[in-house]
C-alpha cells in the first residue's frame, strides 16, 4: 500500500530536539486503519537536517534521555542573545578598519577573536549601513523546508510597508520576514515622523547579533516555540499590547514546503496571545494578519482561517529564480497575501496592472476578468481563466474538459486511475500540484 503521513499536531509532553518540542505524526498505509504514531522534528522535513525520530510508544532509557539533552545543548549557539547584544555594542565602537565579519561562521568578529578565525574567509570594513541590513550581509539559508530564506524583493517589501502604514498599523509582528523588519527599523532610525515598530520572530539565530531582545525573538513557527523561554514570550506579549491605540498586525512569510496545519496552529496561538493582552473588546475579534503563501494553498488556509481571503497581489523575491516579477523570472510569482482584513481596504497599485472590481469589491490583477456566470473574478494566477459549463466553474486557460475524467484537466494527462490517491483530497488520477480542490473558488 501507499504510506501517507498525517500531522497530529503539538502534543503535551512531547520530546525535544534542537528545534524545540517535536510534532506528533502518524504513518498510515492503505488498507490498515490505525498507523503507528511517532515524533519528528517540527522544523526540518528532511532527515539530514535534523534526524530526530521517536515512536510515541517507545520507552527511552535514562541514558539516552541524558545523551539527547546533552546533544540538544551542544547544538545551541555559542553565544546567548544577551552576549550578542553586548558584542554588537563593542563592534560598533571599532574603527571601520577593525570591523570584520566571518563569512564561514556568519559572525561579527571582535579583534581578540581574529586569530581563532585566521584561516576563514571574512569581510572587512563593515559599514553601519551593512549592520542595518543584516539580511544582505548574512548569506540566505536556502534549505527549502526549514529556513527557505527567500527575501522579499525591495518593491514588494516597500509595497507591504506602505500598505501597512496607510491602513494605520503602528506595530508589526514580523514572523519570518527579516527584510520587512529591517526596512521598518531603518526607516524609524532615519525619519523622525515615522512611528512604526517591528518585532522579528525568526528561527535564524544569526539575527540576534544585530537586534536587541526587544527587537528579535528566536522563534520556531512550526511548533510555536520561543527559544528564549518565558522572557522572550513576555517580550512578544508586551509587544502585542495595543498601548495608546497603536494597532498591531502580524505579517508572516513561512517556508512554502512547511506544513500548513502546523503553521496554522502556531498562528492561532499568537492570535490568542494578542487576545489575552486586551481584557475587553478582543473576545471575538482576530488579530489582523497577512499570511504570505502560494495561491495553490488557498483551500488549505481557508480550512483553518475561514475569515481569510486571498489578494491578487504577486509577492516577489530577490534570490528566488522562479518568483521574480514579470520579465526576469521564469514565470509570474504564485505567492499571494492571505488576510482577514476587508478585501476592499487592500489597495493594489494600478501602475503594476491591478484594477478595482466593483462587483467583487476588491482589487484584482488586470488579466483577471470578472466571470458573469461564477459572478466573481476567478483567475488565481494572473492569466485570464475560462468558464467550463460542465464543471460549473472557471479553469486555467490551458485546461480542457476530459469526458472520461469528467472534469477539466491538462490536455496531456493519463485517464487511468492510479491507486495512489492525491495528497490533498485523496482522490486518484492527479498529483497534489494539480489537485482541483486546491483551486476551488
Hey, where are the domains in the chain?
4-75, 81-126, 154-366
Output b/e per residue, 182-206; b: 16+ Cβ within 10 A: bbbbeeeeeeeeeebbbbbbbbbbb
Q: How far is CA 76 from CA 73, 205, 255, 327, in A?
A: 5, 10, 22, 42
Of 367 and 120, more confident: 120
d(CA 292, CA 424): 20
Lowest mean pLDDT among 17-26, 186-195, 260-269, 272-281: 272-281
Average pLDDT on 130-140 reads: 89
SS3 389: coil
Under the banding of pLDDT at 50, 70 and 90, the label for residue 411 is confident
Q: pLDDT at position 227, please?
A: 95
Q: pLDDT at position 142, please?
A: 58
Edge-to-edge order in the sheet of strand 100-102: 107-109, 100-102, 122-123
The kind and range of the H/E element at 84 are helix 81-93
**Range with top average pLDDT, 31-35, 134-138, 203-207, 409-413:** 203-207
**Range with top average pLDDT, 205-219, 367-381, 422-436:** 205-219
Of 95 and 421, more confident: 95
Q: pLDDT at position 419, please?
A: 46
Percent of the chain with pLDDT over 70: 86
Under the banding of pLDDT at 50, 70 and 90, the label for residue 415 is confident
The structure's pTM equals 0.86
Q: Is the pLDDT of residue 261 over 60?
A: yes
Cα 295 from chain centroid (whole Å)? 14
Strands (E), 346-434: 354-357, 362-365, 370-371, 376-377, 386-388, 393-395, 399-402, 407-410
Under the banding of pLDDT at 50, 70 and 90, the label for residue 376 is confident
Lowest mean pLDDT among 45-49, 176-180, 190-194: 45-49
Q: Is the pLDDT of residue 283 over 70?
A: no
- CA proximity to 219, closest of 235, 210, 232, 237: 232
154-366 adopts what CATH topology? Rossmann fold (3.40.50)
Q: pLDDT at position 329, please?
A: 41
Q: pLDDT at position 294, please?
A: 93
d(CA 141, CA 154): 19
In sequence order, the 6+-apart residues with CB closer than 8 A to the CB of 104 are 117, 120, 121, 122
Amino acid at each position: 500500500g501507499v504510506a501517507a503521513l498525517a500531522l497530529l499536531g503539538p502534543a503535551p509532553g512531547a520530546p525535544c530536539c534542537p528545534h524545540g518540542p517535536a510534532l506528533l505524526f502518524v504513518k498510515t498505509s492503505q488498507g490498515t486503519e490505525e498507523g503507528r504514531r511517532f515524533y519528528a522534528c517540527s522544523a526540518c522535513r528532511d532527515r539530514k537536517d535534523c534526524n530526530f525520530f521517536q515512536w510515541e510508544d517507545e520507552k527511552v532509557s535514562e541514558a539516552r534521555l541524558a545523551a539527547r539533552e546533552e546533544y540538544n545543548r551542544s547544538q545551541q549557539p555559542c553565544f546567548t542573545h544577551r552576549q550578542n547584544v553586548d558584542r554588537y555594542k563593542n563592534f560598533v565602537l571599532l574603527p571601520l578598519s577593525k570591523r570584520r565579519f566571518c563569512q564561514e561562521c556568519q559572525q561579527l568578529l571582535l579583534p581578540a577573536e581574529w586569530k581563532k578565525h585566521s584561516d576563514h574567509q571574512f569581510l572587512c570594513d563593515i559599514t553601519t549601513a551593512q549592520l542595518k541590513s543584516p539580511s544582505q550581509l548574512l548569506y540566505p539559508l536556502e534549505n527549502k523546508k526549514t529556513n527557505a530564506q527567500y527575501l522579499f524583493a525591495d518593491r514588494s517589501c516597500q509595497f507591504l510597508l506602505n500598505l501597512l502604514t496607510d491602513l494605520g498599523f503602528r506595530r508589526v509582528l514580523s514572523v519570518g520576514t527579516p527584510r520587512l523588519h529591517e526596512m521598518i527599523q531603518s526607516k524609524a532610525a532615519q525619519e523622525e515622523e515615522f512611528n512604526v515598530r517591528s518585532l522579528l520572530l525568526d528561527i535564524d539565530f544569526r539575527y540576534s547579533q544585530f537586534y536587541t531582545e526587544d527587537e528579535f525573538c528566536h522563534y520556531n513557527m512550526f511548533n510555536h516555540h520561543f527559544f528564549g523561554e518565558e522572557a522572550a514570550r513576555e517580550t512578544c506579549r508586551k509587544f502585542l499590547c495595543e498601548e495608546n491605540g497603536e494597532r498591531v498586525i502580524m505579517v508572516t512569510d513561512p517556508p512554502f514546503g512547511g506544513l500548513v496545519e502546523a503553521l496554522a496552529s502556531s498562528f492561532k496561538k499568537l492570535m490568542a496571545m494578542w487576545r489575552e493582552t486586551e481584557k475587553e473588546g478582543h473576545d471575538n475579534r482576530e488579530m489582523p494578519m497577512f499570511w504570505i503563501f502560494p495561491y495553490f494553498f488557498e483551500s488549505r488556509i481557508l480550512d483553518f482561517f475561514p475569515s481569510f481571503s486571498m489578494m491578487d497581489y504577486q509577492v516577489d523575491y530577490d534570490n528566488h529564480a522562479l518568483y521574480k516579477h514579470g520579465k526576469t523570472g521564469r514565470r509570474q510569482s504564485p505567492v499571494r497575501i492571505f488576510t482577514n482584513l476587508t478585501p476592499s481596504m487592500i489597495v493594489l497599485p494600478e501602475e503594476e496592472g491591478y484594477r478595482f472590481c466593483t462587483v467583487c469589491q476588491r482589487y484584482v490583477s488586470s488579466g483577471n476578468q470578472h466571470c458573469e456566470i461564477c459572478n466573481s473574478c476567478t483567475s488565481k494566477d494572473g492569466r485570464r481563466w475560462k468558464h467550463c459549463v460542465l464543471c460549473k466553474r472557471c479553469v486555467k486557460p490551458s485546461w480542457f474538459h476530459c469526458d472520461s475524467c469528467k472534469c477539466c484537466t491538462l490536455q496531456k494527462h493519463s485517464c487511468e486511475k492510479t491507486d495512489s490517491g492525491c495528497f490533498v483530497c485523496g482522490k486518484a488520477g492527479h498529483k497534489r500540484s494539480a489537485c482541483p480542490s486546491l483551486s476551488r473558488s
